[in-house]
Amino acid sequence: MLKYLRWLLLPFSWPYALVIIIRNLCYDAGLFKSQGFDIPVISVGNLDVGGAGKSPMTEYLIRLLKGDHKLATLSRGYGRKTQGFLTASATATATESGDEPAQFKHKFPDITVAVCEKRVAGIEHLKDNHDLIILDDAYQHRAVKPGLNILLFDYSRIFEPHFLLPAGNLREPFAGRKRADAIVVTKCPMDLTDIRKERIKTRIKPFAGQQLFFAGISYTALHGLNGDKSNRVIDDETTVFLLSGIANPKPLVNHLQKQAKQLIHHNYPDHHPYTLKNITKLADGFKACSAQKKLVITTEKDAQRLGEQALQTIVKQLDILVLPIQVEFLENGQQFDQIIKNYVREHTTYNKLY
C-alpha cells in the first residue's frame, strides 16, 4: 500500500527536483561558491535519506588514518540542541553534539570531533590545527569542495526506482553520483555473487574513473553502555529485546533473528530522542517476559541517546548491551585503503604541520 501511495506523491517530487537540479547547476557553473582547502578533506555521504552506513564508514576511515595524522571529523550534529561550531568533549551527549558525533568521540577519544551547521566555517576553525578532516554526511553540502568524495549506496535499495523526495528516498537526482571519486555499496551479504555484483554495477553505471567497491557489516562483541566488556552471548535460547532508532534496522534485525530464539523489536525513527515513556515501555516488557535467558540490546548510535540524565534510573536497571558494527570489504579492501592513503599523502606535502 505504501508503495502505491508514494506513486501518488510523484508530482510533488518534480518541483523539488527542479530546485535541486538548478542548485547543482549553479555550483557546477561557479555561480555559487564551492570552497576548497589546502588540507585533505574527505567527504562521506549518500544520495538517499539515511541508512547507507555513513557512520561505520567514517569510523573505518578514522581507524585507517588516525595513527599517522592529526585528524578531525566534522558533522552537522543532527538532533543536538546546541548551535554553531562545537568540539565534543569526552563526556559528550547526543543533546550537546548529536548522537553520531558523540559516538565518534567516545570510541576515539584522541581525535577531534566537531559539529557545525556550516561546514565551511567548521573547516576554517579546524584547518590550522589538523592535517586531515573527514566530513560525515556532506555529499549534498556543496559549499565545500572536498578533495575526495566517497559515495555510499545501501545494498537493499539499489534496485528501487530513482525517485526524489517525497515520492522516493533520493535527496538529489541519481546523476549526482558523478561527483564521487569512489563508490561503495554497503551492507552487502558476505556471500554476494559475481553475477549479482555485475547487476549492481550495471544499475549504478559508474562514470569513467570511479571505482566501485562492495562492503558488508561485521558485528563485534557485545559490551555495556559504558564500554565495559560483556561475557554474554546470543544463542537459540535467548529472547532479545532490541531498541533501535536508526534509518534502516533491517540488517540488524536479520542478524539477530538468525541467532536468537525470539526478537522483540522496539523500533523508533532515525535519531529519535528517547523519552521516559519509551524506556518504561521497554522495561515493562522485559520484566513481563518469562524467558529464562533474555537480553536488551541496542546500537552504538542509540546508546548515545540513552545517556540523558532523565532516563538513567530505568536504563541502569535494564543493564542494556550494545552491539557494535564495522565495515568489512568483500574484496579489494586494500585497494580502497590505498586510494585513501594516496590522496591524503599527495595533499599533505606542503602542509605546515609537516
Q: What three-state secondary structure class fits 169? A: coil
Within 10 angstroms of residue 292's Cβ, the number of other Cβ atoms is: 8
Comparing 265 with 10, which gets the higher pLDDT? 265
Q: How many residues does the chain have?
A: 354
pLDDT digits (tens, 9 = 90+) for 86-129: 999 999 999 999 999 999 999 999 999 999 999 999 999 999 99
Q: Which three cell numbers stand for residue 64?
A: 585507517
- Specify whether the CB–CB gap between 130 and 71 falls below 8 A: yes
Average pLDDT of the chain?
94
Is the model's pLDDT at 353 over the cut of 50?
Answer: no
pLDDT level of residue 244 (50, 70, 90 thresholds): very high
C-alpha cell at 76: 552537522
pLDDT over threshold 90, residue 146: yes
At 352 the pLDDT is 46
Q: Report residue 272's pLDDT band, with 50, 70 and 90 as the boundaries.
A: very high
Domain ranges of the chain: 34-219+328-346, 223-323
| Domain at 223-323, CATH class | alpha beta
Convert the pLDDT of each residue in 292-306 to its tens digit: 999 999 999 999 999
Which tens digit of pLDDT belongs to each residue from 259-271? 999 999 999 999 9
How high is the pLDDT of residue 226? 84
B/e letters for 232-261, b = 16+ CB within 10 Å, e = fewer, are bebeeebbbbbbbbbbbbebbbebbeeebe
When the candidates are 3.40.50.300, 3.40.50.970, 3.30.450.20, 1.20.1050.10, the CATH number that belongs to 34-219+328-346 is 3.40.50.300
**pLDDT tens digits along 123-134:** 999 999 999 999
Comparing C-alpha atoms, which of 350, 328, 302 is closest to residue 213?
A: 328
Q: How many angstroms separate the CA atoms of 297 and 303, rounded?
A: 10
Backbone angles phi, psi at 322, to 5 degrees: -110, 135
CA 222 to chain centre: 20
- The CA distance from 135 to 63, in Å, is 15
Q: Give me the mean pLDDT over the 313-333 stretch.
A: 95
Give the three cell numbers for residue 229.
566488556
- Of the chain, the percentage scoring pLDDT greater than 70 comes to 97
pLDDT value, residue 2: 53
Q: CB-based contacts of 63: which residues, under 8 Å, 6+ apart?
A: none
User: pLDDT per residue over 45-100, tens digit each?
Assistant: 999 997 899 999 999 999 999 999 999 999 999 999 999 999 999 999 999 999 99
